[in-house]
Amino acid sequence: MHSYVFPGDIDPKIAAIGSKPFLYMRTDEFSEINKESERLLLELIHCPGGRTIIYTGSGTGAMSAVVENYVTTKKKAIVIDGGSFGHRWFDLCCYYGVDAIDFKVPFAKDIDYGLLERTVAEEKPDVFLCQHHETSSGQLFDLEKISAICHGNGVSLVVDVISSFLAEPLDMGALGIDICITSTQKGLNIPPGLSVLFFSPRLDGYTFNHKGYYWDFDDNFSNLRRGQTPFSPATILFLQLNERLRQLKGQGGEEKNIADVRHRSEVFRGLCAKYGWEIPAEVASHAITGFKVNEKEPRKVFRGLIDKYDTYIMPGSIPGFYRVSHMGLQSDAELEALAACIHEFEI
Ligand SMILES: *Cc1c(COP(=O)(O)O)cnc(C)c1O
């Protein structure tokens, strides 16, 4: 079986941790592992002097935590709504009663940065919420331009990098991002279930809100200072995360991983050209390829791949649009075989 979804095929050594006996979490050993994971995560995202919170919960849990604890301390938010993940930021703001501007960006299009700059100058939001990579379409946004607009207007920048961390170059310190969010089943390529918040040192001493018991920042920070979590952590996932981070460090760090993801995407995009599949994204991230096939019946490719080849790709929101993740392990030959199998179900 091959998987081109999230997390995709994962390293057998990481997967095997899940079947071994594991540590009790209220120990110094577990604390040391978590402190090391925090150090390695901050290195990978270039956030010297920063802090992390590692939650047992998927990425949306961490997005919710950011709104409960941080965004509600602000007067007005602006959200880049370029697809289902961007819209999730807007939904969360509505849910918690935060005044938010829904800055819509058409499917698979880049932001009109001139219009964005004028909107920020006129509306004067004090917090900016966006995705680096809008995973629903494959569109990558330009964080340098976004960061310049935020810093020019005194707006705090929060970025969901869930599907770009370790797949696209990302320097949180240089970009002056206050909070970044990621989760384990995307670029980290381990099973789903943990999400990570990265905090810039500029937020040291910040007075956060207390609007969510389970995700409370201050409670998590005070426990994490001793490498512990306030509630039962998904212990196996914490061990898999630590092993994966050590592996990344030993194998050339984020640069090597980003180069590998890029190579896979370039191979697959060559195959898209060969079979005549259009890639709608204006600026396509290497993390996934979103492409349109010539399908005669809805979901024929998706079902056919599962039924005949035990292989998963991701259906998209429009007919014939599929997404293949490049964040899992995959060889050139496997990608060639995948494309041939997709083509088989087109006709
Ligand atoms: C996967 C993903 C999320 C989180 O989704 P969950 O279902 O909570 O794991 C959030 N934002 C982006 C951009 C994503 O790709």
What six digits make up the tokens of 312?
């998963």
Non-local (6+) Cβ contacts of 52 within 8 A are: 37, 38, 41, 42, 196, 197, 198, 199, 224
Which amino acid belongs to residue 302? F
Q: What pLDDT, in 10s, does the model give residues 56-112?
A: 999 999 999 999 999 999 999 999 999 999 999 999 999 999 999 999 999 999 999
In a domain, 195, yes or no: yes
Q: How far is the CA of 122 from the centre of ligand 1 (A)?
A: 30
Report whether pLDDT(12) > 90: yes
Mutate to test the pocket of ligand 1, among 84, 105, 130, 135 (most ligand atoms within 8 A of CB): 135
Q: What is the pLDDT of residue 259?
A: 98
In a domain, 27, yes or no: yes
191 and 310 inside one domain: no
149 and 225 inside one domain: yes
238 and 265 inside one domain: no
Distance CA 6, CA 314 (A): 9
Ligand 1 near 162 CB (within 6 A) = yes
158: domain range?
13-250
336 and 222 inside one domain: no
Q: How far is the CA of 59 from the centre of ligand 1 (A)?
A: 5
**Position 237 confidence tier, pLDDT thresholds 50, 70, 90:** very high
**Position 182 confidence tier, pLDDT thresholds 50, 70, 90:** very high
Ligand 1 near 60 CB (within 6 A) = yes
Q: What is the pLDDT of residue 280?
A: 97
Where is the domain boundary, 215, 250, 285?
250
Which amino acid belongs to residue 199? F
Dihedral sign from CA coordinates of 110, 111, 114, 117: negative
**Position 1 confidence tier, pLDDT thresholds 50, 70, 90:** confident
DSSP secondary structure letters along 78-110: EEEESSHHHHHHHHHHHHTT--EEEEE--TTPP
The atom number, within ligand 1, closest to the CA of 186 reads 1
Q: What is the pLDDT of residue 137?
A: 97
Ligand 1 near 58 CB (within 6 A) = yes
The atom number, within ligand 1, closest to the CA of 60 reads 8
pTM comes to 0.97
